Amino acid sequence: MGVIKVLAGLLVLAFAVAFTYYNLQPGEVRFYNFSIKLPMFILVFLSVGIGFLIPAVYYQLREKALKKREEKIYELLNYFWRDYLGKAFAILKKFLIIEEFLPFYIRTKKEFNESLDVQLDLYNKGIAETALAELTFRKDLEEAMILLENALGKNHKNQKARKMLRSVYMVYRDYDKAEDLQREVLKDIEKERKVKEQRALASILAEKYLLTKDEVLLKELWSLPISKTSAAVLSSTVGGGEAFEAAYNLGILPEVIKIMEERNLLTPELLNLIENYRHAIPDDVLYYVYLKLNMKEKLKDLKPSLGELRAVKDKDSELLGLVRIWECDECGKEYVKYDSVCRNCLGVNTLKIKREEEVDNRPRKEGG
């Protein structure tokens, strides 16, 4: 390897000597009244040298500035995770010219319970509005909707704003707008998350079908991965056994049956299917099903696990409507009725049937 380097060096040197020898004739450089004659090879070297020198100096200075910024960011993160929020906040304020830092700024302000002094007109990527909407939607959903619409007005490819606004529209039952946004989400979504977002679309279309009974929607639902809502709709149609079995394979059959009970989609014909999958359906769900189908003789054999349900099941049937049988798998918010979107965290398809284990079935500690 050393010999090759020496030979390459000698070759370059020989080329330089030959180039110099054949370019000894002078060349004249003029600028206004000033002129100078220099050998041509010197002029060539000066031109090439200056051409390389200026970019090199520029990138060296830029790299130094980026290095300094990197050190500040590292210092900021170090303070934040060590819970020195005051010191972190002091550094963070210097980065607010960069819109991507604004969500971090908002969260830090929230820790101090301080009001936000954000001028949204300074930013043009919609990140600021999205971050504020994420902070405010639990208190003021309408304000969050306005912020998210403004965010998408600045950058329509803001996926976080799209998905949040889609969920807000679902809360307001504006399924047409929710569908349009969800289709935009699917155009740009990463391959690994596509099925999840297709299920979100399936739930939106299922909710629309329940309102409109549009057969075109039903046809598209069969082509999408099933969600809890879409499986409930499809199971109540001709050939619904296929969707019923798919729900069982996905482990969402209890949720699907309960949705069918709530949305009045249960039919006597479905009872055979329900009985076939009896082992996969908790007594909490079956209690509602048998009561809805007026099969009261079967109620006495059921042993619900939910404390709220046990407390009211033999009393006033109207109290069943107050039992919080649903909970969000993302935020833990409890509900008495199913919805395709959680109002507390805006998660889609996140509600599930609550599971409560009997205290007596828990392992006991010896000597306790």
User: Which tokens is 353 given?
Assistant: 């049937």
Give the whole-angstrom CA distance, residue 258 versus residue 288.
8
* Beta carbons of 138 and 344 less than 8 angstroms apart: yes
pTM of the model: 0.76
Q: How far apart are CA 368 and CA 358, in angstroms?
A: 19
How far is residue 130's CA from residue 284's CA, in Å, rounded to a whole number?
A: 39
As given in the structure block, the two tokens for residue 61 are 């200075």
Helical spans, DSSP H, in 82-140 = 85-92, 102-111, 127-136
User: Rounded CA gap, 202 and 230, in Å?
Assistant: 6
Q: Is 31 exposed, middle or buried (0-12, 13-18, 19+ CB in 10 A)?
A: exposed
The residue count for the chain: 368
User: For residue 261, what are the contacts with CB-CB under 8 A and spacing of at least 6?
Assistant: 285, 288, 289, 292
DSSP state of 249: H
Tokens representing residue 355 in the block: 């599971």
Q: What DSSP line would sit under 304-352, residue for residue? A: ---HHHHHHTTS-GGGGGG---EEETTT--EESS--SB-TTT--BS-EE
Any idea which residue has 């629309």 for tokens?
208
Joined tokens for residue 356 = 């409560």
Domain ranges of the chain: 10-70, 120-189
Please give the class, per CATH, of domain 120-189: mainly alpha
Q: What is the pLDDT of residue 235?
A: 93
152, two tokens: 């998408």
- Dihedral (CA of 145, 151, 156, 159) sign: negative
pLDDT recorded at residue 223: 96
Amino acid symbol at 348: V
Report the amino acid identity of residue 182.
Answer: Q
Cα separation, 103 vs 52, whole angstroms: 40
| β-pair partners for 353 | 326
Question: Is the Cβ–Cβ distance between 178 and 169 less than 8 Å?
Answer: yes
How high is the pLDDT of residue 203? 98
Round the CA-based radius of gyration of the chain to a whole number and report it. 34
User: Tokens in use for 50?
Assistant: 């200056």
Those residues with Cβ within 8 angstroms of residue 226's Cβ, 6 or more apart along the chain or in another chain: 199, 202, 234, 243, 246, 247, 250
- Contact yes or no for 203/340 (Cβ under 8 A): yes
Query: In the numeric block, which tokens belong to residue 196?
Result: 């999840």
Tens digit of pLDDT at every position of the chain (368 positions): 678 878 887 787 677 666 665 666 776 767 777 777 767 767 677 677 777 788 878 888 888 888 888 898 889 888 878 878 788 888 888 888 888 888 888 877 777 777 777 778 788 899 999 999 998 999 999 999 999 999 999 999 999 999 999 999 999 999 999 999 999 999 999 999 999 999 999 999 999 999 999 999 999 999 999 999 999 999 999 888 899 999 999 999 999 999 999 999 988 778 888 888 989 999 999 999 988 888 888 888 888 888 888 888 777 677 888 899 999 999 999 999 999 999 999 999 999 999 875 434 434 333 33
- Rounded CA-CA distance 86/79 in Å is 9
Strand-pairing partners, residue 352, are 327
Tokens of 9: 């060096």
> How far, in whole angstroms, is CA 103 from its chain's centroid?
15
Residues 252 and 340: beta-carbon distance below 8 Å:
no
pLDDT for the residue numbered 167: 98
Q: Do 167 and 341 contact (CB within 8 A), yes or no?
A: yes
Shortest CA distance to 124 belongs to which of 94, 98, 145? 98
